[in-house]
Amino acid sequence: MKEKLVFHCDFYRPGPFVSVQLMTSAYCELLAWEYDDLSAPFWRWYHNANGGAFIRVDGKEIALEPDKVYLIPPHVAFASHAEQLVRHLYFTFALNVNLGAGAARVFSHPLTVTEKSLIRQVVPAIKQDAEISFAAYTLASLALNRIPADCWSSEPPNPRIAQAIRMIRERPTLTLGNEELARAAGMNISAFIRLFHKHTGCSPHQYDLRLRIEKACWLLRSGADNLDDIAVAAGFCDRFHFSKAFKRYIRISPAAYRRQKQKSQRHKNSLT
């Protein structure tokens, strides 16, 4: 039976409505892909059009096969390498729900007809710096829908952790220490950090940093502020620390990220 192409940027599962926030998208032909640790506070979606790329997780090597999609959750530590030129399509994105305790791992599934069609649209669009967010959201959502339902956290939000998250979000330019957050939650620091990690999949510091990077991505895409002003607005002490953190998690510099998005927008405007 022929699949129907359905475009959307969110998906449903039992419980709350889930939203995907696309951060970066890229297509590249890599002669080398050598990283010792690519763990990050966001999701990664990968498809390689040919063989020859590998990731290593917990000592196990996984070949990225061309007929599959791979999805890697936040904070999963993995290394990468390539044995030949690799045609590499990837997205990074944030999600407003978490996997259950112990469920984080590399997920993969065979490409569907719908996904193949979307990839055929996305790759040339990226090469031409055209807007691809719509298709990228759909590819991410389709992959997320393939994760087994029992992998997602079914616990209701913990009110103490919800309060801590609220505090972090309400003070975007002020780094709150674990001691202050734990005190507000009425817990000792060790117990608070364990509970926070259980419900979010990361430490308070990592959660705060992810929010800052997400805000920086939005500012770089939407405004003309200089990098010093964006660094301050995103809660970094200076441009140097901002650029270092941004490149660590997004893999390109803030300036390169802005140029990439501006070129895409100019191309989009020329078509309207």
DSSP E strands in the chain: the ranges are 10-11, 18-30, 43-48, 53-57, 60-63, 68-72, 79-82, 86-95, 107-110
> Which structure tokens are listed for 101?
């305790």
Cβ atoms of residues 94 and 87 within 8 Å: no
**Lowest mean pLDDT across 105-109, 127-131, 187-191:** 127-131
> Which structure tokens are listed for 37?
């640790």
Identify which has the larger pLDDT, 53 or 93.
Answer: 53
Question: Residue 1 pLDDT > 80, yes or no?
Answer: no
Question: Residue 9 pLDDT > 50, yes or no?
Answer: no
Q: What is the pLDDT of residue 198?
A: 78
Q: What is the mean pLDDT of the chain?
A: 81
Give per-residue pLDDT as tens, 183-229.
999 999 999 999 888 777 778 888 888 888 878 887 887 766 789 99
> Which structure tokens are listed for 207?
């959660």
**Average pLDDT, stretch 154-182?**
81
Q: In Å, what is the CA distance from 21 to each residue of 26, 54, 66, 80, 136?
A: 15, 26, 25, 25, 10
Is the domain defined by 10-151 classed in CATH 3.30.70.360?
no
DSSP for 157-219?
Answer: PPHHHHHHHHHHHH-TTSPPPHHHHHHHHTS-HHHHHHHHHHHHSS-HHHHHHHHHHHHHHHH
Identify which has the larger pLDDT, 110 or 4.
Answer: 110
Cβ atoms of residues 33 and 86 within 8 Å: yes
C-alpha 56/C-alpha 59 separation (Å) is: 6
Name the CATH code of domain 159-266 (choices 3.40.50.300, 1.10.10.60, 3.40.50.150, 3.40.50.700): 1.10.10.60
* Nearest Cα to Cα of residue 28 among 265, 222, 260: 260
Q: What is the pLDDT of residue 263?
A: 57
Confidence category of residue 171, pLDDT binned at 50, 70, 90: confident
Cβ atoms of residues 36 and 92 within 8 Å: no
Question: Residue 266 pLDDT > 90, yes or no?
Answer: no
Which secondary structure element, helix H or strand E, spans residue 15, and what is its range?
Answer: none
Domain range summary for the chain, segments of one domain joined by +: 10-151, 159-266
Question: Residue 14 pLDDT > 70, yes or no?
Answer: no
Confidence category of residue 150, pLDDT binned at 50, 70, 90: confident
Q: What is the pLDDT of residue 262?
A: 62
* CA-based max dimension of the chain: 57
Asked whether the domain spanning 159-266 has the same topology as the one spanning 10-151, the reply is no
Identity of the highest mean pLDDT range in 17-21, 87-91, 158-162? 87-91
Q: What is the pLDDT of residue 18?
A: 65
Give per-residue pLDDT as tens, 21-67.
787 788 888 888 888 878 777 889 999 999 899 999 989 999 999 99
Question: Residue 4 pLDDT > 60, yes or no?
Answer: no
